Amino acid sequence: MKTFRFLLISLIMMGMTNYNNIIAGSRNPLLFEINEVVRFNELKPEHVKEATEEIIRQTKESIAKISEIKASERNFDNTMRAFDLAYHKFSNVSNTLYLMAYTHPDSAVRDQCLASVDMLSRFDNEITLNEDLYRATHEYSQTSEAKKLTGFKKKYLDDRMRFYALNGFNLSKEKREELKKIFDKITSLGLEFSANIASVKDVLELDETEMDGLPKEYKDQHRTESGKYVIDLSYPSIVPFFQMATNENARKKLFMLYLNRAADKNLDLLNRLLLERKKAANLLGFSTAAEYIIADNMAKTPQKVWEFENSLLEKVKPKVNIDYAELIEVKRKYTNDPNANTINEWEYRFYLNKLLKEKYEVDNQKLREYFEVNNVINGILEICKQLYGVSFVEKTEAPVWHSDVKMFEMISNSKVIARIYLDLYPRNDKYKHFACFGLINGVKIGKNYQIPTAALVCNFPRPTENMPGLLTHDDVVTFFHEFGHMMHFVFSQAELAGQSGISNVHEFVEVPSQFFENWAWNYEALTLFARHYKTGEVLPKELFEKMYAARNVCSGIDANKQIFYGMLDMTYHDKFDPESNISTTEILADLQNRIGVFKYTEGTHMQASFDHLVGYAAGYYGYMWSKVYAEDLFSVFEKEGVMNKKTGLRFKKEILSKGSTEDENLIIRNFLRREPNQDAFLRSLGIDPQN
């Protein structure tokens, strides 16, 4: 299934709207009018249920109207645009419920949202396989008007027809019914898989001796009344622990706990999910799930992906060896063991942290003092203002879903052009990672334009009475990454919702996000916000230069890890038989031992919490694929000025605002004014592209 195929989180689904069916002034906060602010604070389970039933009814009604049009009377507006608006409206509700299922503080609302997302996903499968819609689209494609289409309209029609071809409309009706049942299973299994990860509440209880090496601030946050320490599995808890805890056994216990999240439930679910995907692909005439999924991507074939991954693996290998040797040197010195020659995975961050502090004089804890969370927010907004000519106004009285959430309006020429939400801190039952959720796509509705709305969901350290929220530089890079997604989503100027925001082919989606990470590494940009939380001192140039010099410390190891994730995903979807006697854990262990830097740790099941297996099925390779494009695009700013507004405005116009109105390869070439290459990407890893 291609529309809701992935339930993309860090990506984003589509948006919606035939607003005539929405009752003006409706008290259901999910049934909102054009450009109305969503009243998240009023959301109740009954609203979710009502809106779910109502949007299904309205969408069915819209599809029926489109289907009833005579073939001779079809035109772009009454067939293609009418479907786009109906699906936009449907997606507004489904996207919003998807976000609420993983962030709303009320368990009753979350549970109802999750149930509704499942229901809407199943209905989306019905839309995907709706014969009347296919017939209507096919009839329109045969008209003289359709054959004369150009630009975004032609691309939209071509994409829809290819979509139908990839979703089984060459199959019999009976086979399509079978396919729908499989799609429904895939949807439900994926939702359950993600929900199991989100609901993990495992903690590690430790005594005083097991907390050696950790700063007082961290210990104070995790000490219980009994005198014991409780470490949860959120990023603000585990990262400092892996970096600084001197008790290796405690680090290993936390590592084992972390890599076994949801394993009791998700190992079986994953096997079933992979089996259903394989069934769907086979039914559609593809030999593997990867072959089916990638057919609609830039890579086109699994073979191209394998060639890309294996080629990259070889190119980073020399850097991996250099990185590993540096870590071994640190371990030998620390343990006073000249024969030490192995780094275990739970030791990586510990010895990396020591390497940064001792050889490169980079103290991550000291750097945190310059990255107070509100300063970082203001800095990102200022950078966007200078690059893209927009400003942001915080709406402190906005009806948000939790008191942690901030809402901003994005302004251009005194006009609101987008709304963004920031949900920054961890809490129980909230989505555990970092992601941009698209809520409402931009779309032209009559003479008006529905402004885009999106939310960033993060898990940064929460401020306390005695300490503000301080971010590591890695956190800052992550923030820039997700904000890059946000800007891609909200700068869209596409007429059609189906071409708006992050509606691109898979490998392009991560380009703007990885591109924007570069500003977190630029001193001119950092001076706009990197100030000491106590003194207000700007991040000293000397400290920045040490940090920058250390940027590529272990870059080969980190690149290898991303390649491993991509190859694991591809192996599961292209070379693994879920009905064989081999388990997903055996596949994981074999691959990690063959290509990974750190050998597989017996008893761990990382794949059970690898949520990208739901969101990026046979697509994780896209992170590295898009990184090549992202660095190439950034090389233009390196030549013309990182804060060059003229270049920024051109990037906004030629990359961010396009959506999928043009072929992505053409979009990239037009901005570069040449063919893309890997040189800038390899340089970003500290690898000479000429070698």
Amino acid making up residue 377: I
Task: Pick the catalytic residue from 139, 345, 482, 510.
Answer: 482
Residue 252, Cα to own-chain centre: how many angstroms? Answer: 28
pTM (2 decimals)? 0.85
Q: In angstroms, how far apart are the furthest CA atoms of the chain?
A: 84
- Separation CA 85–CA 442 (nearest Å): 11
Phi, psi (5° rounding) for residue 554? 65, 25
Residue-wise pLDDT for 197-227, tens only, equals: 989 999 999 999 999 999 999 999 999 999 9
- pLDDT of 432 reads 82
Nearest to 567 by CA among 308, 258, 292: 308
- Over residues 480-496, the mean pLDDT reads 96
Residue 136 has pLDDT above 80, yes or no: yes
To 10 degrees, the CA torsion angle through 281, 287, 292, 297?
A: 170
- pLDDT of 278 reads 97
- Separation CA 505–CA 510 (nearest Å): 10
Contact of 437 with 9, CB cutoff 8 Å: yes
Helix (H/G/I), strand (E/B), else coil: 580? coil
Contacts of 243 (CB under 8 A, 6+ apart): 349, 350, 352, 353, 364
Average of per-residue pLDDT values in the chain = 93
Residue 605 has pLDDT above 90, yes or no: yes
Q: Extract the runs of DSSP E, i.e. beta strands, from 124-275.
A: 204-206, 229-231
Residue-wise pLDDT for 250-301, tens only, equals: 999 999 999 999 999 999 999 999 999 999 999 999 999 999 999 989 899 9
- pLDDT of 19 reads 32
If one counts every other C-beta atom within 10 angstroms of the C-beta of residue 672, the result is 16
Q: Which of 74-88, 336-350, 351-365, 408-422 has the lowest mean pLDDT?
A: 351-365
Tell me whether residue 53 is one of the annotated catalytic residues: no
Domains, the chain, in order of start with CATH, read: 19-167 (1.20.1050.40), 204-260 (no CATH), 373-502+509-549 (1.10.1370.40), 623-684 (no CATH)
DSSP state of 454: E
Nearest to 435 by CA among 99, 39, 93: 99
Confidence of residue 8 (pLDDT cuts 50, 70, 90): very low
